Amino acid sequence: MNFDIYTLVLRIIVALIALPIHEYAHGYSAYRMGDYTAERQGRLTLNPLAHFDPIGTIAIILFGFGWAKPVPINPLNFENPKKGMMISSLAGPLSNIALAFLSMVLYKLSYIPAYMGITGAFLSTVQTFLLFMISINITLGVFNLIPIPPLDGSRIATYFLPQRIYFKIMQYENIIFIVLLVALWFGVFDLPISFVSNLVTGILDYATRPIDWLTALIM
């Protein structure tokens, strides 16, 4: 996949925003439920360096989905370990969907200056950046909901799976992760991720329709 420098820089900036917020959401939700592990290890931060994973970061820059270094969470600190793990795991993908929603609002609002005759390279760059924020955050959120270790979806599945089955699966987490990487390389998940991402994009577009009405009113 070929990128020019302009596109590459924008995608890197998006990755440096999306991944830290994703991991911070995990750590903060766990913190609010009584697990202070992330805070004690210096991971309750938006500093990208604290969450940097070279392979996962490169993947999100090139393909739009990837991962960061997982925030440490100890479910034994939760009043209800299964429920706490499910909520803290879900927080990451939801933070990306929220970022995508905010970016879509800003993207649609950015056309108001254009309708008023205010254009230029800066506005065009902002709009391109916001488009990347929308697409990459949605894809990142959808990707991490896949119920395969070590993705967030596998942790969310703990709430619905019997413990003996879950722990049996987790014994093979490293092997499953290698299989996941191979599957990603050969594009096994491209079609389902694209389908669900387009569905989420459509939902967010519908939810931001009032911005479209506002823009039409101004026109």
Nearest to 190 by CA among 86, 63, 90, 89: 63
Asked if residue 112 lies in contact with residue 216, where contact means CB atoms within 8 angstroms, the answer is no
The C-alpha atoms of residue 88 and residue 106 are separated, in whole angstroms, by 27
Catalytic position from the list 23, 39, 79, 173: 23
Residue showing tokens 């793990």: 85
Nearest to 135 by CA among 169, 101, 168, 159: 101
Compute the Cα dihedral for 93, 99, 102, 103 and give only its sign. negative
Element (H, E) at 136: helix 121-144
Alpha-carbon distances, residue 67 vs 59, 139, 163 (angstroms): 8, 11, 25
Residue 46 backbone phi and psi in degrees, to 5 = -95, 5
Element (H, E) at 152: helix 152-156
Question: CA-based Rg of the chain, rounded to a whole angstrom?
Answer: 19
173 among known catalytic residues: no
Q: Which residues are the active-site residues?
A: 23
